[in-house]
Amino acid sequence: MNITSKTTLNNGLTMPWLGLGVFQSEDGSEVINAIKVALNNGYRSIDTAAIYRNEKGVGTAIKESNVAREDIFLTSKVWNSEQGYDTTMAAFEESLEKLQTNYLDLYLIHWPKGEKSIDTWKALEELYNKGKIKAIGISNFLVHHLDDFLPHCKVIPAVNQVEFHPELVQPELLTYCKSKGIQLEAWSPIMKGKVNSVPLLQDLAAKYGKTPVQIVLRWDIQKGVVTIPKSVTDERIIANANIFDFELTPEDILKIDSLDKNKRIGPHPDTISF
């Protein structure tokens, strides 16, 4: 494996195992620089969202980079206030305009919103069938959300992007998504840097000659989970990609699994108020 290694989604599209997340990356020079550093160092996947309010900077960075648009896997998401058929259609066009592109590689429903998400999905399916999006998916959907949602889908979601890290392993969700052919993707994989202070991860970092962050990102990939660590620091963006020259033993993967506390950093999908 290397930084260009990809997983194959349920519709045959390939998606890089590692990408750059830009949540809370400020629009303008901050996000533009982060993306350019990432692309110059082999990254080919960029994950943004309408609510991040930096799609314009993402689009500018891609335009100004030395990498062709077709070589970049670009993800965005429809925000909750725009869910519903017509509003999703309008939100998608707005995202395309800001991103300065005529298609997306992946478009996600950002959070489950019950019946409204079913109408949103109809819009995504239509955009997918028209070739405006190469793959469609969801974010923050738990097993019970998927049980309610999937019977209404003509197109099975290709990806489910969820909070996933050593303290929130969600084995049932991972197993469920694998059984349905849905690729799990991790947001907040390094727990906002908190993995650096976990003793077990420090021990494993010493054993493998890596950092705790690199250990966790490698653990993601070996568990079959796409990962999109966020950083705006050049050195960290480069270091986060330095995870393809070693392999964790099955025993060490189980040790990391055992850190699971079912503990969230972000909001719970069942109790969101936005």
**pLDDT digit string (tens) for 230-241?**
999 999 999 999
In the chain, which residues have pLDDT < 50?
none
Pairing of strands 133-139, 104-109: parallel
CATH fold of the domain at 13-257: TIM Barrel (3.20.20)
Ranges of beta strands (E only) in 154-213 are 159-163, 183-187
Residue 89: phi and psi, rounded to 5, are -55, -45
Q: Are 182 and 137 in contact (CB under 8 A)?
A: yes
Give me the catalytic one of 43, 52, 107, 128.
52
Name the 3-class secondary structure at 259: coil
* Cα–Cα distance, 14 to 31 (Å, whole number): 25
pLDDT in tens, 2-26: 999 999 999 999 999 999 999 999 9
pLDDT at 270: 97
Please say if 52 is a catalytic residue.
Answer: yes
Residue 139: phi and psi, rounded to 5, are -140, 140
Question: Is 0.75 topped by the overall pTM?
Answer: yes
Q: Domain residues of the chain, as ranges?
A: 13-257
Q: For residue 90, which of 116, 63, 127, 61 has the smallest C-alpha distance? A: 127
Six-digit token string for 101: 């592109």
